[in-house]
Amino acid sequence: GIQVEQSPPDLILQEGANSTLRCNFSDSVNNLQWFHQNPWGQLINLFYIPSGTKQNGRLSATTVATERYSLLYISSSQTTDSGVYFCAVRTGANSKLTFGKGITLSVRP
Amino acid sequence: KAGVTQTPRYLIKTRGQQVTLSCSPISGHRSVSWYQQTPGQGLQFLFEYFSETQRNKGNFPGRFSGRQFSNSRSEMNVSTLELGDSALYLCASSLGIGLNQPQHFGDGTRLSIL
């Protein structure tokens, strides 16, 4: 099946810093989503971005489908950005998402 | 518009028991998928239901089963619980299968096996 690799596995930032989170995938996809999982386990949709670039406030994402990677940018990080960021992809006609192992982000005040 | 609702939020069971978890999708969504999250294995796909039929299944033993009702609500059942079944169980809904649109997740049910 498709492989999803996220890097770096862990990231520590000082509040106000910027960061880039990467997601590589091994095959063509028709769906790519970025999620933020907070300390309570809630998986929050950040972006649905099978291709192109989107922005939402301090967050933006870019997917280059032909090169099989996606990037999540966090600018002016805040302590509330802490948590685990997951990239998940879908191939084929069903709804199964394959998740990466996640990137644990800690933002220090 | 209400999000995906999962009940209960927390559950404690003992080995050998069985458990049923419930998921109500976003109104109008007809596809429901279930995932298991553990520290060791991460997020893994369990199964997907659409129009009351299982459309896709992950690599889990037969103790894990599910169903979907005519109103798109879904339940998953785990029988003969084992310690390794302790996990966060997440449900996701989407408009339908074969459509390129996002999945939306509920807050999960945290299952602890003693």
Residue-wise pLDDT for B33-61, tens only, equals 999 999 999 999 999 999 999 999 999 99
Question: Are B103 and A101 inside 8 Å of each other by CB?
Answer: no
What DSSP character marks residue A79? Answer: G
Q: What token pair was written down for A2?
A: 């498709």
A50 lies within 8 A of chain B by CB: yes
A55 lies within 8 A of chain B by CB: no
Asked if residue A107 has pLDDT above 80, the reply is yes
- For residue A81, give the 3-state DSSP assignment: helix
Question: Are B42 and A45 inside 8 Å of each other by CB?
Answer: no
Indicate the residue type of B56: N
Q: What token pair was written down for A62?
A: 């870019």
Indicate the residue type of A31: N
Asked if residue A34 has pLDDT above 90, the reply is yes
Q: What mean pLDDT do residues A19-48 have?
A: 94
How many contacts (CB atoms, under 8 Å) link A and B? Answer: 61
- Residues of chain A with Cβ-Cβ distance to B48 below 8 Å are 94-96
Distance between CA A29 and CA A31 in Å, rounded? 6
Selecting from B37, B97, B103 the residue whose C-beta is nearest the C-beta of A33 gives B103
Asked if residue A89 has pLDDT above 80, the reply is yes
- Of the pLDDT bands very low, low, confident and very high (cuts 50, 70, 90), residue B100 is confident
pLDDT digits (tens, 9 = 90+) for A45-85: 999 999 999 999 999 999 999 999 999 999 999 999 999 99
The DSSP code sequence of chain B is: ----EEE-SEEEE-TT--EEEEEEPPTT--EEEEEEEETTTEEEEEEEEETTEEEEE-S--TTEEEEE-TTS-EEEEE-S--GGG-EEEEEEEES-TTS----EE---EEEEE-
Selecting from B33, B88, B107 the residue whose C-beta is nearest the C-beta of A96 gives B33
- Residues of chain A with Cβ-Cβ distance to B88 below 8 Å are 41
* Residue A43 near residue A34, CB atoms below 8 Å: no
Asked if residue B98 has pLDDT above 90, the reply is no
